[in-house]
Amino acid sequence: MGHHPSLLLTVGRFEQRLARWDALDPRLKHLAVMGAAHAIGCRWCTDFGYWLSATDGLSEDVLRDVPTWRTSDRFTPVERQVLAYAEAMCATPDEVTDEMVAALDSALGTRALVELTMMVAVENQRSRFNSALGLTSQGFADRCEVPA
Protein backbone atom coordinates (compact mmCIF):
# COMPACT_ATOMS: atom_id res chain seq x y z
CA MET A 1 0.00 0.00 0.00
CA GLY A 2 3.03 2.23 0.37
CA HIS A 3 3.07 2.46 -3.44
CA HIS A 4 -0.38 4.10 -3.35
CA PRO A 5 -0.41 6.74 -0.58
CA SER A 6 -4.06 7.78 -0.92
CA LEU A 7 -5.14 4.14 -0.71
CA LEU A 8 -2.93 3.64 2.35
CA LEU A 9 -4.45 6.71 4.01
CA THR A 10 -8.00 5.57 3.26
CA VAL A 11 -7.37 2.08 4.64
CA GLY A 12 -5.62 3.56 7.69
CA ARG A 13 -8.61 5.75 8.49
CA PHE A 14 -10.98 2.82 8.05
CA GLU A 15 -8.87 0.64 10.36
CA GLN A 16 -8.84 3.40 13.00
CA ARG A 17 -12.64 3.52 12.88
CA LEU A 18 -12.88 -0.28 13.14
CA ALA A 19 -10.80 -0.18 16.29
CA ARG A 20 -13.48 1.97 17.96
CA TRP A 21 -16.30 -0.52 17.48
CA ASP A 22 -17.36 -1.99 20.81
CA ALA A 23 -20.51 -4.06 20.42
CA LEU A 24 -18.62 -7.35 20.16
CA ASP A 25 -16.55 -8.76 23.01
CA PRO A 26 -12.85 -8.16 22.12
CA ARG A 27 -11.97 -11.82 22.66
CA LEU A 28 -14.65 -12.90 20.19
CA LYS A 29 -13.48 -10.27 17.73
CA HIS A 30 -9.90 -11.54 17.90
CA LEU A 31 -11.01 -15.15 17.51
CA ALA A 32 -13.17 -14.27 14.49
CA VAL A 33 -10.33 -12.40 12.81
CA MET A 34 -7.81 -15.15 13.54
CA GLY A 35 -10.27 -17.82 12.39
CA ALA A 36 -10.86 -15.96 9.12
CA ALA A 37 -7.14 -15.39 8.50
CA HIS A 38 -6.46 -19.06 9.10
CA ALA A 39 -9.37 -20.20 6.90
CA ILE A 40 -8.07 -18.10 4.03
CA GLY A 41 -4.47 -19.11 4.69
CA CYS A 42 -2.94 -15.65 4.94
CA ARG A 43 0.39 -16.10 6.72
CA TRP A 44 0.86 -12.34 7.21
CA CYS A 45 -2.58 -11.89 8.76
CA THR A 46 -2.17 -14.96 10.96
CA ASP A 47 1.21 -13.70 12.14
CA PHE A 48 0.15 -10.09 12.74
CA GLY A 49 -3.21 -11.18 14.16
CA TYR A 50 -1.40 -13.40 16.65
CA TRP A 51 0.69 -10.44 17.78
CA LEU A 52 -2.33 -8.12 18.11
CA SER A 53 -4.38 -10.74 19.94
CA ALA A 54 -1.57 -11.66 22.33
CA THR A 55 -0.91 -7.98 23.00
CA ASP A 56 -4.60 -7.62 23.86
CA GLY A 57 -4.43 -10.48 26.37
CA LEU A 58 -5.35 -13.69 24.56
CA SER A 59 -3.18 -16.57 25.70
CA GLU A 60 -0.70 -18.24 23.38
CA ASP A 61 -2.41 -21.58 24.03
CA VAL A 62 -5.76 -20.27 22.79
CA LEU A 63 -4.18 -18.65 19.75
CA ARG A 64 -2.25 -21.81 18.94
CA ASP A 65 -5.50 -23.77 19.01
CA VAL A 66 -7.46 -21.58 16.60
CA PRO A 67 -6.62 -23.87 13.64
CA THR A 68 -7.86 -26.89 15.62
CA TRP A 69 -10.80 -25.23 17.38
CA ARG A 70 -13.13 -28.15 16.66
CA THR A 71 -11.08 -30.57 18.78
CA SER A 72 -9.56 -28.15 21.30
CA ASP A 73 -11.04 -27.88 24.78
CA ARG A 74 -10.00 -24.21 25.08
CA PHE A 75 -13.12 -22.68 23.51
CA THR A 76 -16.57 -22.01 24.91
CA PRO A 77 -19.69 -22.93 22.91
CA VAL A 78 -20.13 -19.29 21.81
CA GLU A 79 -16.48 -19.06 20.76
CA ARG A 80 -16.96 -22.22 18.70
CA GLN A 81 -20.02 -20.64 17.05
CA VAL A 82 -17.95 -17.54 16.20
CA LEU A 83 -15.10 -19.62 14.74
CA ALA A 84 -17.53 -21.74 12.71
CA TYR A 85 -19.23 -18.58 11.42
CA ALA A 86 -15.89 -17.03 10.43
CA GLU A 87 -14.93 -20.19 8.57
CA ALA A 88 -18.32 -20.39 6.85
CA MET A 89 -18.08 -16.76 5.74
CA CYS A 90 -14.63 -17.39 4.23
CA ALA A 91 -15.74 -20.33 2.10
CA THR A 92 -16.45 -19.72 -1.56
CA PRO A 93 -19.37 -19.71 -1.92
CA ASP A 94 -20.09 -18.89 1.69
CA GLU A 95 -21.52 -21.65 3.87
CA VAL A 96 -23.37 -19.48 6.38
CA THR A 97 -26.73 -20.93 7.37
CA ASP A 98 -29.82 -19.26 8.79
CA GLU A 99 -29.35 -21.42 11.88
CA MET A 100 -25.83 -20.05 12.45
CA VAL A 101 -27.07 -16.48 12.19
CA ALA A 102 -30.05 -17.12 14.49
CA ALA A 103 -27.86 -18.82 17.12
CA LEU A 104 -25.31 -16.00 17.09
CA ASP A 105 -28.04 -13.36 17.18
CA SER A 106 -29.50 -15.09 20.23
CA ALA A 107 -26.11 -15.43 21.94
CA LEU A 108 -24.63 -12.02 21.10
CA GLY A 109 -27.47 -9.69 20.17
CA THR A 110 -28.09 -8.13 16.78
CA ARG A 111 -25.62 -5.25 17.09
CA ALA A 112 -22.75 -7.57 18.04
CA LEU A 113 -23.73 -10.03 15.29
CA VAL A 114 -23.58 -7.26 12.69
CA GLU A 115 -20.17 -6.18 14.02
CA LEU A 116 -18.93 -9.78 13.98
CA THR A 117 -20.08 -10.19 10.38
CA MET A 118 -18.32 -7.01 9.30
CA MET A 119 -15.11 -7.95 11.13
CA VAL A 120 -14.98 -11.30 9.33
CA ALA A 121 -15.71 -9.56 6.02
CA VAL A 122 -12.94 -7.03 6.69
CA GLU A 123 -10.51 -9.82 7.54
CA ASN A 124 -11.49 -11.50 4.29
CA GLN A 125 -10.53 -8.31 2.46
CA ARG A 126 -7.25 -7.98 4.37
CA SER A 127 -6.28 -11.63 3.97
CA ARG A 128 -7.15 -11.87 0.31
CA PHE A 129 -5.28 -8.62 -0.46
CA ASN A 130 -2.16 -9.78 1.40
CA SER A 131 -2.29 -13.31 0.00
CA ALA A 132 -2.74 -12.06 -3.57
CA LEU A 133 0.37 -9.89 -3.23
CA GLY A 134 2.39 -12.71 -1.67
CA LEU A 135 2.90 -11.16 1.76
CA THR A 136 4.16 -13.67 4.29
CA SER A 137 4.95 -13.81 7.97
CA GLN A 138 7.03 -10.86 9.14
CA GLY A 139 8.05 -12.26 12.51
CA PHE A 140 5.45 -10.56 14.70
CA ALA A 141 4.71 -13.91 16.32
CA ASP A 142 8.27 -15.25 16.47
CA ARG A 143 7.78 -16.62 19.95
CA CYS A 144 4.74 -18.64 18.88
CA GLU A 145 4.10 -19.10 15.17
CA VAL A 146 0.47 -20.05 14.58
CA PRO A 147 0.30 -22.32 11.53
CA ALA A 148 -1.46 -20.76 8.55
Three-class DSSP category at 75: coil
Instruction: State the Cα angle at 20 between 85 and 1, rounded to 5°.
Output: 80
- The answer as to whether 147 is a domain residue is no
- The answer as to whether 148 is a domain residue is no
Overall pTM surpassing 0.85 (yes/no): yes
Of residues 137 and 34, more confidently modeled: 34
Dump pLDDT digits (tens) for 79-136. 999 999 999 999 999 999 999 999 999 999 999 999 999 999 999 999 999 889 988 8
Single-letter residue type at 28: L
- The answer as to whether 62 is a domain residue is yes
- Please state at what angle helix 26-40 crosses helix 77-90, rounded to 10 degrees: 40
DSSP 13-73: HHHHHHTT--SS-HHHHHHHHHHHHHHHT-HHHHHHHHHHHHHTT--HHHHHTGGGTTT-S
CATH number of the domain to which 77 belongs: 1.20.1290.10
Q: Are 130 and 36 in contact (CB under 8 A)?
A: no
- The answer as to whether 17 is a domain residue is no
Q: Domain span at residue 130?
A: 23-140
Q: How many domains does the chain have?
A: 1
- The answer as to whether 13 is a domain residue is no
- The answer as to whether 18 is a domain residue is no
- The answer as to whether 4 is a domain residue is no
